[in-house]
Amino acid sequence: MKTILVVDDEPKIVKLVRDYLERAGFGVNVAADGKSALSWVRTEKPDMVILDLGLPQMDGLDVTREMRKISNVPVIMLTGRSEESDKLIGLELGADDYVTKPFSPKELVARVRAVFRRIENISSDSQEILRVADLTLDVPRMRVTAEARQIDELTPTEFSLLAEMARYPGRVFTRAQLLNAVHGVAFESYERAIDAHVKNIRHKIEPNPPEPRYLLTVYGVGYKFTDR
């Protein structure tokens, strides 16, 4: 059974989310503040974290920032903030997805399943090794090696995006195509989320992120993985 840590200080929200997740077959643990959440992640290693941004004392963005220092666990943000910049900050800190309050609990469950399905799809490609330029992707282990430098800190979403583009070097992907590739279902998302994920990937794999060598921007269209 997959275990999900729900981090929210609103009892009604917690009960609603817990009921729907348990009904969907997931185990659920709960934390009401950021410090407790970080302790849970460090000691219990949940399979996913659903994290409210509007936490007291230590908000969800700070929690995400600290969490990424110790774990690559998938994170879905719950946010009451409608500003696009807030969502982008969360994604740039390493969140995999977001759901805006008020939300449909059925949609939340669907997004949870989509993230787990993404991870399972990676694991099912048990023999796939991708080699492009001087980059090697060990797909089942979700490991990337760049110029003999091992990179283990990619989140499942970031790895899925990188692998999708690396399978087709030189092909230009629109943001909509990349959203579809990582979500696998028709969610209402905005395409700038892809920009945030690409920024994270570049920061982790590129020798000089401001002048990328692997993940290239095709202006007015989207992105491509180098074919050189």
CA distance 63 to 163: 28
35 and 50: one domain? yes
Q: At what angle do helices 84-92 and 192-205 cross, to 10 degrees?
A: 30
pLDDT in tens, 74-100: 999 988 766 666 677 888 888 888 888
Q: Which residue has the higher pLDDT, 60 or 181?
A: 60
90 and 195: one domain? no
Mean pLDDT of the 48-66 span: 91
Percent of the chain surpassing pLDDT 70: 91
111 and 14: one domain? yes
31 and 100: one domain? yes
202 and 100: one domain? no
18 and 107: one domain? yes
113 and 181: one domain? no
4-8, 58-62, 153-157, 164-168, range with the lowest pLDDT: 153-157
pLDDT in tens, 122-145: 655 557 888 888 888 888 878 899
- Which of 100, 119, 138 lies at the terminal end of a domain, its last residue? 119
Report the pLDDT value the prediction gives residue 43, as an integer from 0 to 100: 94
Give the number of domains in the chain: 2
CATH number, domain containing residue 22: 3.40.50.2300
Q: Could you check whether the bond before residue 74 is cis, i.e. omega within 30 degrees of 0?
A: no
Domain that holds residue 65: 3-119
CATH number, domain containing residue 175: 1.10.10.10
State the burial class of residue 154 (Cβ atoms within 10 Å of its Cβ: 0-12, 13-18, 19+): buried
137 and 189: one domain? yes
52 and 131: one domain? no
Report the pLDDT value the prediction gives residue 89, as an integer from 0 to 100: 81
